[in-house]
Structure 1
């Protein structure tokens, strides 16, 4: 790690984000969190006590319980299993890929094949069977068009993940606009937001869901969450200076200090929050009960993610990041 950046980290002043609406948390956060960890072990996603401890610190059950506080236990469990799978696979297949290898593309295309064909390959890749089970549970819960909204988010994540890998091996940092477009999908938030209505007043009609204003509202939600995440993950990702993959470090690469990068990103977050509120207020006028529930679900996600990152998780703890095992070779060799 760059010694100058390490010195700056000790004195960073982090922003505080507040929302003009209250948050909530489903009462079974701890239970679904523990069940998800057991599920991941049976699926071969976690194969050591150190890895178990690492993912237990993530508190993904709390994330889903805060982001879907009105959902039933079954749905929160399904979403927690998915998010745990996602964090494990994204870490291995995307964020820690410093060079393209023979396994790089097959790891990602296997996920796309699950979405498209609803069956695993003859020789399943790491995490493939676990994801098949998640998708089959999703299909049983949702009607086909509703599932396709989730599937669309996964396809965009898989495509953006390939671009993320390309960015990781490039010598020059991304331009701001290109970064924002890529981050919008590689952050993995879209598949989850597509199910906000399932956790509230029921499925939004296709005509309402796909209208431009609603899609822009989803984009404001994603931007707020992922750029907020860029601040939360900044200290950990500073440990890997060869990989420029957050808005803070991009700003630093343009000649600014780490604090200036944090402040710049915080301003971007607040701008998106304001745009979200303005568009949400417009859309709610004359919206169906289902769309109103969906918009409430987006608010739950904004508040819930921020609360989880500030209060619950240790995923972005610099102390633990320095001690965590490098799972990449170990897990992939064990499949």
Structure 2
């Protein structure tokens, strides 16, 4: 397997921290996944251990209350299991195969965390998702619950887009990929639970401020592009999948794989520089309520970089 040089990737200039309860939460979250039949013994448990969900959460929320760190870790575990089922187990190879699972999970989301009988078609994925929504509902932050449910719907529907591309062996265009990657990465719902952990969310007027929404989009892009650069090494050993920034750039610019990798690295570096400029402009406005929101995104950018360097998932 060819190795691509990641030394040109800029390190986010934010403090690297790790929650002191990370290891404990890792054990508890794995037991949660077993208890709710999200995973079984053997391969699925091994993959989830390698994913390091608690490690990512502990770096993204180094000062959170432990119960909220657990909630974020459990969401990561759920997202990793869905991702592995679609990418490695063939669930996402065709939209007709994936659609019944998506429909069952959308039914779970429509309940907004209200306890109810599980949806049999959703299996352990549905039981675990219902539990996450129930716990978010228990935080008594309805605006965050509504935001989470909406973002998870977008995530599930975007998985059908990926499945259609795989079935047709289609590499999406660059602009199309950049837009859809914001949804397939599962970053938005993860940021919402990070905002819950930081107890920070701007008021509605601030939230729709173009400067803030642009910064949020850029943060999501940077997390996803960083993920694509690190995961590209692993994906070379598996069946070809069109859903990676490097693959998309190579297909639509006529560049070699190495040149496309270098281009994607440059995009990340330029995006990080723009992020710092835009964030500084928001900080200068000194608006109340923005600091926890911005702190959550700083932690996420740093956490993604540090976790990716160490993750067995990309080994």
Q: Same fold (TM over 0.5)?
A: yes
Query: How big is the alpha-carbon RMSD for the aligned residues of Structure 1 and Structure 2?
Result: 1.9
Tell me the residue number matched to 1:280: 279
Counting only pairs closer than 5 Å after superposition, residues 25-64 of structure 1 correspond to structure 2 as: 25-64=18-57
Distance 1:197 1:99 in 2: 33
Distance in 2 (alpha carbons) for counterparts of 1:247 and 1:157: 18
The yes-or-no answer on 1:104 pairing with 2:98 is yes
Correspondence for 1:331: none
Query: After the TM superposition, which of the residue ranges 179-188 and 248-257 deviates more from structure 2?
Result: 248-257
Give the 3 Å change call, closer, same or farther, for CA 37–122 of structure 1 in structure 2: closer
> Do the aligned partners of residues 146 and 54 (structure 1) sit closer, same or farther apart at CA in structure 2, a change above 3 Å counting?
closer
Q: How many residues align?
A: 308
Name the structure 2 match of 1:18. 11
Does the aligned pair in 2 maintain the 1:115–1:151 contact within 8 Å? Answer: yes
Matches of 1:19 and 1:247, distance apart in 2: 20
SS at 2:122 equivalent: coil
Cα distance in 2 between the residues matched to 1:264 and 1:231: 11
Aligned to 1:125, the other structure's residue is in SS state helix
* Aligned counterparts of 1:29 and 1:211: Cα–Cα separation in 2: 34
Displacement after TM superposition at 1:310 (Å): 0.7
Q: How does 1:241-280 map to 2 (within 5 A)?
A: 241-254=239-252, 255-280=254-279
**Residue 303 of structure 2 aligns with which residue?**
304
Residue aligned with 1:194, SS? helix
Structure 2 distance, partners of 1:30, 1:76, is 11
Kindly indicate whether the alpha-carbon contact (under 8 Å) linking 1:197 and 1:204 is maintained by their aligned counterparts in 2: no
* TM-aligned CA deviation for residue 192 of structure 1: 1.2
Which consecutive unaligned segments of at least 5 residues does structure 2 have? Answer: none
**TM-score between the two structures when normalised by the length of structure 1:** 0.86
TM-score scaled by structure 2?
Answer: 0.91
- Counting only pairs closer than 5 Å after superposition, residues 188-227 of structure 1 correspond to structure 2 as 188-227=186-225
Q: Secondary structure at the match of 2:228?
A: helix
In the TM superposition, what whole-angstrom CA distance separates every residue of 1:243-269 from its partner, at most 9, and x where no partner exists?
211011123334432221211111111
Equivalents in 2 of 1:102, 1:253: separation in Å?
A: 26
Q: Matched residues in 1 for 2:119 and 2:45: separation?
A: 28
2:152 to 151, 154, 160: 154
What is the aligned counterpart of 1:123 among 102, 120, 125? 120
Distance in 1 between residues matched to 2:264 and 2:96, nearest whole Å:
36
Q: Counterparts of 1:222-233 in structure 2 under 5 Å?
A: 222-233=220-231
User: Quick check: 1:40–1:46 contact (8 Å CA) kept in 2?
Assistant: yes
